[in-house]
Structure 1
């Protein structure tokens, strides 16, 4: 399946046009069973947790919203897949990205909620709790993870990250870790996404839209 890139939506000053509002949450996947005897509930975490977001753009001029509308049309509802850096994944850590080194996954066959990494600048503050990173899995899909605790590299430039969601598939050893613009592969949450509302006050030229998207796991 082809994975396309979210389109550029520039503003007159050359900056990227971001949504005016955005939500981001990890949809947990759990399974529960309740005892018929005492009502106690046992809940276990399943491996299907995925990111969910709602993005809203304010009224945009036609040369912008037409581009976004064409992109949504091209996706063909839930069938399409696209790469996107969510605006809420900006870094909190005071260390500039260019000062982090060349971080990579260290060791193959990793699983669970920790990621062993190397290649960082030695003895450097890397992430604040809540920061994000991503890497490309062996199938070529960007996997977005949130770092759950502050972490610094050791004197050898190694660090172990506590992350959510847990690793779905073992990343390849040596694959680069993206910190500046972490990405995920997304899909529309439903086939009826993409209602562009025209603004009567502007003669129908400007239009706004909200898109609900979810991480595409396969």
Structure 2
């Protein structure tokens, strides 16, 4: 249940925000957001990538290269699991990394690579080391909300979930003279869609 307070808006920028909340239609509208404090696995947050070029030593035209030494932004489900299961096998990670996924990391499941229209966001409960093939098993909460299949996408960077406003009064703009606006809003995961 995220609760967000937006910094005071000076000037005319508040109208677009008011229109956004009007378009949601109160609790009926859905929005997809990520947790701004957990946009990547802790493994990536604790490291700086090494930059490498192509095999011939060249780089991209802007001088940049490939970022190595990090977990990829997405991985895949390596073994089928059923609704209600509390464990998940993730593949497509670098091999033999201790604690690649750590307690508190968030994972979003996207069936067939498509964002679900229901909450499919999970939190890692115990550390998961990868094996020599780049797979790891982790315990998650909440329990799986739907069945998952091998090959379903596991989003590691910017995982999101589906939310709606907690009530129809959320996002209301408070105006004060001469042209200041304040607002905030609270959301709840749309678990009724599971």
TM range (shorter): 0.7 to 0.9
Choose from 173, 176, 182 the match for 2:159.
Answer: 182
Confirm whether residue 117 of structure 1 aligns to residue 90 of structure 2.
yes
Q: Runs of 4 or more off by more than 6 Å in structure 1?
A: none
Tell me the distance in 2 between the aligned counterparts of 1:185 and 1:158: 27
1:96: how far off? 6.4
1:83/1:62 Cα in 2 relative to 1: closer, same or farther (>3 Å)?
A: farther
Map of 1:74 onto structure 2: 23
- Which stretch has the larger CA shift, 177-186 or 131-140? 131-140
For residue 125 of structure 2, what is the aligned residue in structure 1? 148
Task: Give the Cα–Cα distance (whole angstroms) in 2 for the partners of residues 166 and 63 of structure 1.
Answer: 44
Please report how far the alpha carbon of residue 86 of structure 1 lies from its aligned counterpart in structure 2 after TM superposition: 2.0
Cα displacement (A) at 1:159: 0.5
- Offset at 1:64? 3.6
User: Quick check: 120-129 or 96-105, which moved more?
Assistant: 96-105
Structural RMSD (CA): 2.2
Question: Unaligned stretches of 5+ in structure 2?
Answer: 50-66
Deviations 1:88-115 (A, max 9, x none): 3234322569622451011224341111
Tell me the TM-score normalized by structure 1.
Answer: 0.67
8 A contact 1:114–1:160 mirrored in 2: yes
Q: Offset of 1:57 from its aligned partner?
A: 0.6
- Gapped regions of structure 1 (runs ≥ 5): 1-51
Of 61, 84, 103 in structure 1, the residue corresponding to residue 75 of structure 2 is 103
Would you say how many aligned residue pairs link Structure 1 and Structure 2?
A: 164
Q: 1:83 & 1:173 partners in 2: Cα distance?
A: 24
Tell me which residue corresponds to 2:32: 83
CA distance in 2, matches of 1:161, 1:83: 24
Q: CA deviation at 1:165?
A: 0.6
Distance in 1 between the 2:87 and 2:172 partners?
40
Q: Which residue of 2 aligns with 1:208?
A: 182
Equivalent residue runs for 1:45-64 within 5 Å? 52-64=1-13
Is the CA contact (8 Å cut-off) linking 1:194 and 1:210 kept in structure 2?
yes
